[in-house]
Structure 1
Amino acid sequence: MEHLVTATFVLDDTGKVIIWNKACERLTGIKASEVIGTDNHWQAFYSEKRPCLADLLVQNRIDELDKLYVYHAEPSAYGKGYQADNWCYLPRINRRLYIAFDSGPIYDFQGNLIAVVETMRDMTEYKTVQSALEKLVEIDDLTGLSNRRYLAEHLETEWSAALANKNHFSIIIADIDFFKQFNDTYGHQTGDECLKSVANVMQQSLLRATDVAIRFGGEEFCVLLPNTRPKDAIDISERMRQNIYDIALEHKTSSVADYVTISCGVASMVPTGEKQAADLIKQADEALYQAKAACRNRTVEYQHDL
């Protein structure tokens, strides 16, 4: 194992290091002489003491996998090894790496555990590319905002968090007023520029990292506002609406203003088991309909009993 190209270490049945190969030294920056005969191997991967995958097997604590690793796979019907992935800060080399761990027990002829082998692969580059690709598919090509796929993936997560914490969850649905007429007057290329400008102002109007602007489709947008009470949601909507008016994009075929404007519907609730996230979307959409029916260029809050 000493000259394997894969970073490998071996623990005895007491959790002490008996092998720490050259590849492991290169990956972690820690020499074998520093850890052989000790249980200090955790220092290679973490700044605070915690068990490695091999330790869980030695200590018969494999049920703690969920708490310690962002991903793990249990052995097949024919295997006894475990797989797990995790972001690790390696103190000696001062780098944060995404490492794939594989660990398996070694038994004697009587079935007694005598050692555990652990191998490691640096998956940082792969994970970084994967994360970038996942983010790309959730971004609207034209505006750079999150897209409808993002909404589908994250709405329920935010709803569940609000339900668990008993927090308000608010949503704004906004629509560019008379956008069809804008396109007919100025052309689709200018219409695309209008969409990009509106999206940019929407994003800049949101002051918290947790607030997310989404292009819902066409000229319609959605804003997710976790942990936001109704009054605050209305204030955000009005700030967004006013900021868009203030950039003064000419719209000479609008019947409500000389410039591009938006109408907004706001809905807010503290989630309960009786309601779903889709109900909140529907309420915000109904409020938007009321805003458009009331001459547009305004914010309307959903008023029915929640």
Structure 2
Amino acid sequence: MPTSRNTESAHVFAVRLMQHLVVPTFVLNAERRVIIWNKACERLTGVPAHEVIGTTNHWRAFYDQERHCLADLVVLGCPDTMDQLYVTHTEPSDCAHGLRAENWCVMPQVKKRLYLAVDAGPIYDEEGNLLAVVETLRDQTEQKLAQMALQSLAVKDGLTGLANRRSFDEKLEAEWLHNQREGTSMAILLVDVDHFKLYNDTYGHQKGDTCLKAVAAALDQQVFRPADLAARYGGEEFAVIMPNTDLDGALHVADRIQEAVQAMNLPHGASLTAECVTLSIGAAALLPSDDHAAADLVAAADAALYRAKRQGRNRVVCTDRVEELAEA
């Protein structure tokens, strides 16, 4: 049988061991008060132990507004609220085995935003009463930023920062099906920088890239509904997907885009149309149905764009009927 002195010695050893762990760790008692705040936790958060020991203010080390940390959820027995508090988390099927989650934290004292992976595990006595909850923290910021960068490369155009062609194709199919179910119109703009080959030949490819980035920025500023998508379609051509939009709505956006690019007044001395960079835009809108596919909407916008170029460029031409493809 262990003596009380042995038990006390073991407790002191455990506390000292936890204090010197390289993993940032803090411990809450059954009243959610901090009883251990180890040195690694001090380094991570910039909060010294004496400021939090005995208090329930540990949240101040991670957030600028009061909210529960993962260990609090274990003490309170409410793991179901993790959805509201954490970006990623394990299913709270059995709180007795602890919780795991990941989240961005603002870290007010060190004044930098960190992505932390968090584990919180309960400690019970022999009768099953909760004694404490141990929360450990791992800084995963570099890994998260690398993951976000890879994800961004997969969906964004490297030059302009707009969505890439793959994102456009996926969005087009998804919104076509959604608008078909809802019975609402869907619109597309195809946008071409007029005489862009001549621009490159005159000013060089680096200036050409700068021009494309400027046009993309103007496009992005004018396509601001959350459901819409502006993408680089290929080369000097851009595209805009507008769910739940009729032709009048599409033309309104097209006019805004043209005005924004004209307002930049980018010189284009070699242009056969104007002395500055201009756009030709083809607009189309359709009510998705079983009679047509999403590709028909793109083809209609492409036909309208072709007519805009044939009619002298620097203009918006529209169609809302797939049958008009035959005219192109």
What's the TM-score, normalizing by structure 2? 0.68
C-alpha displacement of 1:127:
2.3
* 1:300 counterpart residue number: 317
* 1:3 counterpart residue number: 20
Find the aligned partners of 1:72 and 1:149 in 2 and give their Cα distance.
Answer: 29
After alignment, is 169-178 or 59-68 more displaced? 169-178
Rg comparison, structure with higher value: 2
* 1:289 counterpart residue number: 303
* 1:108 counterpart residue number: 125
* Residue 200 of structure 1, aligned match among 214, 217, 223: 214
After alignment, is 61-70 or 24-33 more displaced? 24-33
* Residue 232 of structure 1, aligned match among 234, 241, 252: 252
Q: Is the 8 A contact 2:80 2:92 kept in 1?
A: no
C-alpha displacement of 1:247:
3.3
Find the aligned partners of 1:160 and 1:15 in 2 and give their Cα distance.
Answer: 50
Find the aligned partners of 2:60 and 2:54 in 1 and give their Cα distance.
Answer: 14
Find the aligned partners of 1:243 and 1:133 in 2 and give their Cα distance.
Answer: 34
Give the residue type in structure 2 aligned to 1:12: N
* 1:37 counterpart residue number: 54
* 1:54 counterpart residue number: 71
After alignment, is 62-71 or 139-148 more displaced? 139-148
Find the aligned partners of 2:61 and 2:244 in 1 and give their Cα distance.
Answer: 39
SS at match of 1:151: helix
Q: Which runs of 5+ in 2 are unaligned?
A: 1-17, 323-328
Correspondence 1:123 to 2:140: yes
* 1:22 counterpart residue number: 39
C-alpha displacement of 1:161:
12
Find the aligned partners of 1:106 and 1:33 in 2 and give their Cα distance.
Answer: 23
SS at match of 1:106: strand
Instruction: Specify whether residues 19 and 153 from structure 1 end up closer, same or farther in structure 2 by C-alpha distance, changes over 3 A only.
Output: farther
Q: Is the 8 A contact 1:89 1:97 kept in 2?
A: yes
* Residue 134 of structure 1, aligned match among 120, 133, 151: 151
* Residue 69 of structure 1, aligned match among 86, 107, 124: 86
Q: Is the 8 A contact 1:15 1:55 kept in 2?
A: yes
Q: Once the two structures are superposed, what CA deviation does each residue of 1:152-207 show, in whole Å capped at 9, x if it has no partner? A: 57678999999xxxx9986421235687xx59xx88x9689657634533423553
C-alpha displacement of 1:66:
0.9
* 1:90 counterpart residue number: 107
Find the aligned partners of 1:200 and 1:88 in 2 and give their Cα distance.
Answer: 34
Find the aligned partners of 2:243 and 2:299 in 1 and give their Cα distance.
Answer: 18
* 2:231 counterpart residue number: 214
SS at match of 1:90: coil
Find the aligned partners of 1:154 and 1:291 in 2 and give their Cα distance.
Answer: 21
After alignment, is 14-23 or 104-113 more displaced? 104-113
Q: Which runs of 5+ in 1 are unaligned?
A: none
Find the aligned partners of 2:109 and 2:50 in 1 and give their Cα distance.
Answer: 15
Give the residue type in structure 2 aligned to 1:197: C
> Identity over aligned residues, as a percent?
43
Q: Is the 8 A contact 1:169 1:268 kept in 2?
A: yes
SS at match of 2:54: coil
Find the aligned partners of 2:28 and 2:281 in 1 and give their Cα distance.
Answer: 62
